[in-house]
Each structure stands twice: as structure tokens, then as C-alpha cells.
Amino acid sequence: MNSMIMENGVTFKTLEKNIFSWVCEIGRQFTTEFLERYDRMLMEERDKKKYRHKGYRQTTIKTVYGEVTYRRAVCEVTEEDGSRHFVYLLDETLQLDHVGLISTNMAELLVKGVTELSYRECAAKVSEMTGQTISAMGVWNVIQSLGEKVCEEETQLVEEYKKGHIQGKREVPVLFEEADGVYVRLQGKDRKSSRQDKAEIKVGIAYDGWKKTGKERYILSDKVVVAGFARAKEFHECREAAIAETYNLEEVCERILNADGASWIKKVKDKSTCFQLDPFHRNKAVRERVHNQKAVKDIMELLDGEKIEELFEYLELYRNSLSEEGEIEDVEELIRYYRNNEEGLLPYQSQGLELPKHPEGLEYRNMGTMENHVWSVIARRMKHNHTSWSRRGGNHLAKILAKKCSGKLYEVTEKRKHPAFEEEKVEEIYGEILMSSKTPKRDGKGYAYPVLGHLVGLEGKVQGDRRKLLAMAGC
């Protein structure tokens, strides 16, 4: 078979590309016909006194199978106060304003891609795997538009939370929270204005326990993740609002916070919240500040044994035994760090808390997932790949990455809660278009396909291949 194809000068790879191009062209023509027919339906059913027909305008929308150009009616609307403005009924139905002239499916591909790849790599992959060509700047523009919408929604959520209008449906007795920050490089303009090379992206998570998924394997339950460039108070308000959107905080008996002891975290911590110093940072401080390996081992044993008074006595004696100024300063820094976070040196299980029984299907385990989340949410994409960011662009991507980690990436692109099109009208238009069977005669490179008349299987009774085609179209 391969030799036969090669003799005719067409490889299977070329044949596959030609067929893909042809199918994309059919999809574009089908979509154009569908949108224009649906627009005519909307115009026929409109309130003619309110919406005055002012002609047609052409536009183009980017889809996964290429750019679709179509004409839709523009209407003049007169309000009660006498003011006038123009609207496109079809555009309002599609709700294209939140992503520009990009289809939701296309936007989803770009968002998923940019959370893993650079803008340039994402543009190349999407262009390669779909019928749509898009540039790196085109991807960047879409992400900024969507990121701006996420920021606006967060601001609205915070305002509603302050008014007491936000209350989540999930009721749990204990809420586990963790917070940390990661520094990323700034781009030229922001670097000059702030006079610093790096800026901190704050990350916070909340969950109600651990679910067992396999032997010694657990996942965090109903995780809420927030991230972004923000001041401590602003970030705390955003975090609280996001938590309140999922959880009914009035029913929470105990809140436990695991963090590295940074001042911005402790300043906004509620007094009733139990604080635990993050085990990773607690142990890291010992290894960085104490240069004697036997002393490191002794200190770690005291920490694991929860002998806090003996720990400080040991640190004082160890400091007094040193002669080099640098080592003394390091140990004093460690003592200050532990003194400032003395309340959290013990794990929350050893702080005398009377925790309510955990809900069925959940477990309460050791906290300390924050460092992994900093890596998976922010650092893997934004820090360790020679990238630098503007505050605006970095903030937008950080919030999209947080949505992904929360399992809510769909919220970035899918704002509509109800179907855009009425099902009966869709089926009616599908049938009309399929019966008219408009097919392209040529693909993008001028290859002439031996197709005459209607598409195979679209004529006659609804049976066999035609039934399959109608099913594929959603009818």
C-alpha cells in the first residue's frame, strides 16, 4: 500500500494532512452557515420596537478548526432615558466579550497549554495540532484578557465577602490551611520602577482533610488555592473570600495554619487559628544555620522528640561553644527564628487541641504540603525556566495556575452557566444545513477533491451512514 501511494507522489502523511484540512474547511463553512441562520432566527423573534435593524457587519472568530468569518445583524437600542447604543444579538447570545473573538474550546486549549508551556511553545503546539494558526503574542493577549476577568471576579468576591454575602455549602469541623511565597524575576520596566530584581508571589491553600486513594497514597480533599502578587492584607482578604465561597466558616470548629513563619502570614493570622511552623522550613533552618553535623542530628532529635525547652538550652550551649563569628551569627539567627515561632514548633497534634471526629472518608494527617504546592502551582512554570515577568502578566498567570491546582481551570474560560443556543433551534438548523450539504471544492493548497453534488449519505431516508453523520453533528 505504501509503495502504491509513493508511486502516485502522495505519502500517507500528506493524505492525512489534506483530509484534515478538508474536514476543517467543512467545519468552518458549517459554522458560518449555522451562526448566520441562528442570527436570522434571533432577528425574527426580537422585540422590533426596542431593537431596530441597522444592517449587517462581518466578523471573524478563531476556532479549533480555523477562522470562521460570518455576518450578523446590528441593532440600535433606545433606552428609557433616550440614550442609544448598538448591539449584536448573536454576540450577546455567544457571550464572546469575555474572551474576545476566540471560541471557548480554543480558549481552553490555550489556557491548558500555557499552564505547561511558554507562550511561544503553546502557540506552536496549538497551531500544529488544530486548524487554527496563532502567534505567541496572540496567546499572550488571550491569557491577559482571561486573567483580567479572573482578577475582576476575585475583587467582586471579596466585596461580597466583606458584606457577609458569601457562605459556602460545605460544612466541615476542621479546616487546614497553608501559606508560603515564591520569588520570581521581574521584567525590565517593573524591575526599574520597584528597584528590585524579584517580587514575591504569595500562595495559599485550604482543605478539609486527606482522602486515601491507594496504598499509602492520599490527596487533599476539596482544595482551594489562591495565588498572586499582592500585599499581605489584600492577599488575606482574597484567601478568606475564596475559602468562604467553598466552606461554611460558621460551622468550622478549628482552623489550623501551617506556614514558614513569615511576618506577612502571621500578621493577618486570626488569633483563634492554631499555628504550626512548616516542618520543611523548620528543618531547613537547622541544616543551613548549624555547621556541625553532630549538632544538627542532636537538634533534629530534640525537635522530633518535642522537647522544646531542652532544644533552646542546647542551642544556647552550642552557641557559647563556638569561636567563629560567622557560625555564632548563624546560630543566633536560628534561635531568633525559633523564638519568633515557638508556638508552632510542635505539630498541631501535640498542641492540646480537641479536634472533632473527622468526616467519613477523610483522615487527619501531618501537614506540610506547601513546599510541593509552591513548586507545582508557581515555581515549575514561572521560576526555574529562565523566565521573567511583568507584575500584571505574572499575576494573571499565577491566578490561572491557582485555578488549575484547585481543579477549577474550566472557570477561566467557561463563564456561561446556561446553554447559549436553544436545543430545538439547533436541531432545526443542523437539519437544514446537512440537507443543503454545502461542501468545499478545494482545500487550502488547491488540491481538487473528486466530490460532486451532496456529501455521501446525506440524501434520502435517515438511515445508515446518514444517521451516523447526524449523530456526529449532535442531532
Average pLDDT over residues 295-312: 94
- Asked if 303 and 345 count as a contact pair (C-beta separation under 8 A), the reply is yes
Evaluate if residue 452 carries a pLDDT over 50: no
Write down the pLDDT at residue 467.
53
| pTM given for the model | 0.81
Average pLDDT over residues 42-55: 90
Average pLDDT, the chain: 86
Using CB atoms within 10 A of its CB, is residue 67 exposed (0-12), middle (13-18) or buried (19+)?
middle
pLDDT tens digits, 331-378 = 999 999 999 999 999 999 999 999 998 899 999 999 998 889 999 899
- Residue 474 Rama label (left phi>0; alpha psi -120 to 50; beta): left
Question: How sure is the predictor about 306, in pLDDT bands with cuts at 50, 70 and 90?
Answer: very high
% of residues, the chain, pLDDT over 90: 62
Average pLDDT over residues 210-228: 93
Write down the pLDDT at residue 217.
92
Which of the pair, 465 or 165, is modelled with greater confidence?
Answer: 165
Q: Which residues of 404-435 are buried (b: 16+ CB within 10 A; e: fewer)?
A: bbbeebeebbeeeeeeeeeeeebeebbeebbe
Q: Compute, in degrees rounded to 10, the torsion defined by CA atoms 305, 310, 312, 313.
A: -150
pLDDT tens digits, 100-146 = 678 888 999 999 999 999 999 999 999 998 989 999 999 999 999 99
Q: What is the C-alpha to C-alpha distance for residues 102 and 98, in angstroms, rounded to an integer?
A: 9
Evaluate if residue 203 carries a pLDDT over 90: yes
| Assigned C-alpha cell, 322 | 563556638
Write down the pLDDT at residue 36.
92
pLDDT tens digits, 271-286 = 789 999 999 999 999 9
Most confident of the following: 282-291, 448-457, 464-473: 282-291
Write down the pLDDT at residue 415.
59
pLDDT tens digits, 318-332 = 999 999 999 999 999
pLDDT tens digits, 168-202 = 999 999 999 999 999 999 988 888 777 888 999 99
Write down the pLDDT at residue 97.
55
Question: How sure is the predictor about 33, in pLDDT bands with cuts at 50, 70 and 90?
Answer: very high
% of residues, the chain, pLDDT over 70: 87
Write down the pLDDT at residue 441.
47
Evaluate if residue 439 carries a pLDDT over 70: no
Evaluate if residue 218 carries a pLDDT over 80: yes
Write down the pLDDT at residue 455.
42
Write down the pLDDT at residue 462.
46
Evaluate if residue 418 carries a pLDDT over 60: no
Average pLDDT over residues 444-472: 45
Write down the pLDDT at residue 2.
53
Question: How sure is the predictor about 317, in pLDDT bands with cuts at 50, 70 and 90?
Answer: very high
Q: What is the C-alpha to C-alpha distance for residues 221 and 315, in angstroms, rounded to an integer?
A: 39
Which of the pair, 428 or 472, is modelled with greater confidence?
Answer: 428
Write down the pLDDT at residue 100.
60
Parallel/antiparallel/unpaired status of strands 174-185 and 254-259: parallel
Average pLDDT over residues 82-90: 89
